[in-house]
A and B are shown apart, each in its own frame.
Chain A
């Protein structure tokens, strides 16, 4: 399977714990996005990488959230000191860097539940 892969698919954690999610984009896709989606809402932009460079980060992202893409391939999203409001679906998407008319390919997401 050469699609976007996210791990884990589901995560239940206690409030205050740290969690880390992984995204493996389609090979050779330069651009990588993280989104958060809650019930009844569309995907909410979190951050964007072009290769290993984090080019944009949402102002909505608190300092408890951090993302990395160390070698321009896979990416991790870490949430420190989780809160119940962090419960959501976390989506990753990748795109090739071939201009402006390229579609994004999404993973199946990681569903986080903070109890």
Chain B
């Protein structure tokens, strides 16, 4: 059984704060790690797909790092804005199966 864990479960920050979340996943049979943003009443939207140990990706104020040997990824948001409020999901792809297993997500609320 694959376990993908995310922490914290929820986070409330003030506008302008920087924040980060953690995704832990099995370190064996790693294939890829995905980050998605899911806003209320919308579809989950891909942020990053990461495949290489040590990989760092950036999209605007959001960036992510990957450590496949120890099985974790961090997502960083610099200078949070109210429009960043959403649930951030990570998903692990297993080498043998190529399906995607999601964590429970981190619900971010950014207060103006």
Contact = CB atoms under 8 A, between A and B. Distances in A.
Interface of A: 3-4, 31, 33, 35, 40-45, 48, 55-56, 91, 93, 100-109
B74 interface: no
B100 A107 contact: no
A4 B51 contact: no
Given A102-B49, A103-B49, A104-B34, A42 B43 contact: no
Contacts of B43: 3-4, 91, 105-109
Q: Determine chain B's interface SS by DSSP, over half rule.
A: strand
B82 to A, nearest CB: 22
B102 A101 contact: no
A4 B6 CA distance: 26
A105 B34 CA distance: 12
Contact of A42 (B46, B99, B103): B103
A44 B45 CA distance: 16
A103 B46 contact: yes
Given A4-B43, A100-B93, A105-B46, A42 B34 contact: no
Interface in B62-112: 89, 91, 93, 97-105
A100 B51 CA distance: 8
A101 B104 contact: no
A75 to B, nearest CB: 15
A41 B97 CA distance: 22
A45 B89 contact: no
A89 to B, nearest CB: 11
B2 to A, nearest CB: 9
Given A43-B44, A55-B98, A109-B43, 16 more contacts: A31-B98, A33-B100, A41-B105, A42-B6, A42-B89, A42-B102, A43-B102, A45-B102, A48-B99, A55-B97, A100-B31, A100-B98, A103-B34, A106-B36, A106-B43, A106-B44
